[in-house]
Amino acid sequence: MLDMDQLLKDYPEIKTMQEYKPLFWQNPDYQGKAELPFGIEHIFDAEARFQRFAPYFEVAFPETLPTHGILESPLVDLPKMKAVLNQKFAHKIEGNLYLKADNYLPISGSIKSRGGIYEVLKFAEKVAMEHGDLVYGDNYAILHEERYHKLFSNYGIAVGSTGNLGLSIGIVAQKLGFNTSVHMSADAAQWKKDKLRSKGVNVVEYNDNFSHAITEGRKQADADPSVYFIDDEGSYDLFLGYSVAAIRLQTQLKAQGIKVDKDHPLFVYLPAGVGGSPSGVAFGLKQVLGEHVHPVFAEPTHIPSVTLGMMTGLNDKISVYDAGIDGTTKADGLAVGRPSRIAGKIMKTLLLGTQTFDDQEMMKDVVRLYDSENIRLEPSAASGFTILDQVLGQLVSDFPLENASHIVWATGGSMVPKEDMLAYLKDGKAELNK
């Protein structure tokens, strides 16, 4: 049983969280020594699997032909957005501002196209090798053939999701032939449920939060030995799928002449829900780019689950609801009250800190980016912009910011239906006009 009175004494910042005020939490263990459960070789193993599946994606998802079956997003310079933000910021962005545009990732248009799809691929490869005739040296395009579709139809894949993870897993698993079920919380956007159903995915809806949806999904999957459950709260395969982004980003940084060293630090702003995808990316970045890349997580003031878990050291043993925080947010992708079982533990020495933000400010940034750069993001994906000013204020005395680069990780948005995007923009404009 949690003793909240004692936790409030030990961590007075929880009171700020209970009052829904923005908070910067600086990780006291950042850059310390740690024993990690895996290393850079595991990232390259995941990348090799993506490469093996590239021929499959070219035939099953023709939209991946321009990238030869590789699922990757561009790194976009944002001079106009930087100018707009600097007009209002107390702490100016001196270096360059970029968008890691995972909103443009093929197939499901979000950061989950890495981790979610990766875990489906790993399971499919295992089934195809153990029960089919696939070998590593094959052209994996054969997995699009009817015989493999029939093989995969003997198995199920299930996941609990607030939206984007369910989209990525559902679309690819169903295309391969798996019987796919996505257990979705009340926070999930209707269009995401509709999209999945249009692909033939079984969507199970709950009038409750993410923790309830994932628990029910896990329970139902456990009752059927033919069903493989992808666990957003504790999957190493999801985590490693996300980490591959670092290898690709390193190439993009080199191509654009962006230095990362002591005099040219790189700050990366990642929206966090359960914490799996930002933690996987952050882990990869620290392994591939080294000590001069500094990850920061963005969380809504009304559902700061990773901040609460890491600050107290309780990680997944505490939820925002235990602290009397209501968990409501317009950022459906971040609407997770209890953090991942692995994120906080692995991030203990790899995460610079977290910053919480108001939903109203996030909606304004959806509009600012659209008006300045003509880029459409769903609300949660814009939250990296929302925390920038406050984080810069915290960093100014510790880092040479005049030569720093800043990357906001855009976690989703290109698949948002036009009418939903118009509603986001209307909401954001109303906030700007107050």
**265 and 215 housed in the same domain:** no
Could you tell me if 368 and 254 lie in one domain? yes
CATH classification at residue 133? 3.40.50.1100
- For residues 283 and 317, membership in a common domain is answered with yes
Per-residue CA distances from 32 to 27, 296, 298 (Å): 10, 16, 22
- One digit per residue, pLDDT tens: the chain, 434 residues? 899 999 999 999 999 999 999 999 999 999 988 889 999 999 999 999 999 999 999 999 999 999 999 999 999 999 999 999 999 999 999 999 999 999 999 999 999 989 999 999 999 999 999 999 999 999 999 999 999 999 999 999 999 888 889 999 999 999 999 999 999 888 788 999 999 999 999 999 998 888 888 888 899 899 999 999 999 888 999 999 999 999 999 999 999 999 999 999 999 999 999 999 999 999 999 999 999 999 999 999 999 999 999 999 999 999 999 999 999 999 988 989 999 999 999 999 999 999 999 999 999 999 999 999 999 999 999 999 999 999 999 998 889 999 999 999 999 999 999 999 999 999 999 999 98
In terms of domains, do 199 and 163 share one?
yes
57 within some domain = no
Residue 281: its pLDDT value, please?
98
φ and ψ at residue 415, rounded to 5 degrees:
-90, 0
Q: DSSP E strands: which ranges in 109-248?
A: 156-161, 179-184, 202-205, 227-230
- 104 with 119, same domain: the answer is no
Look at residues 234, 252, 280 and tell me which one is the last residue of a structural domain. Answer: 234
Where among 182, 216, 234 does a domain terminate?
234
Residues 292 and 386 in one domain: yes
Query: What kind and span of H or E run contains 15?
Result: helix 13-18
| One domain for residues 195 and 335 | no
CB 45 within 8 A of CB 39: no
Structural domain includes residue 58:
no
Cα distance between residue 184 and residue 203, in whole Å = 7
Beta partners for 97? 406
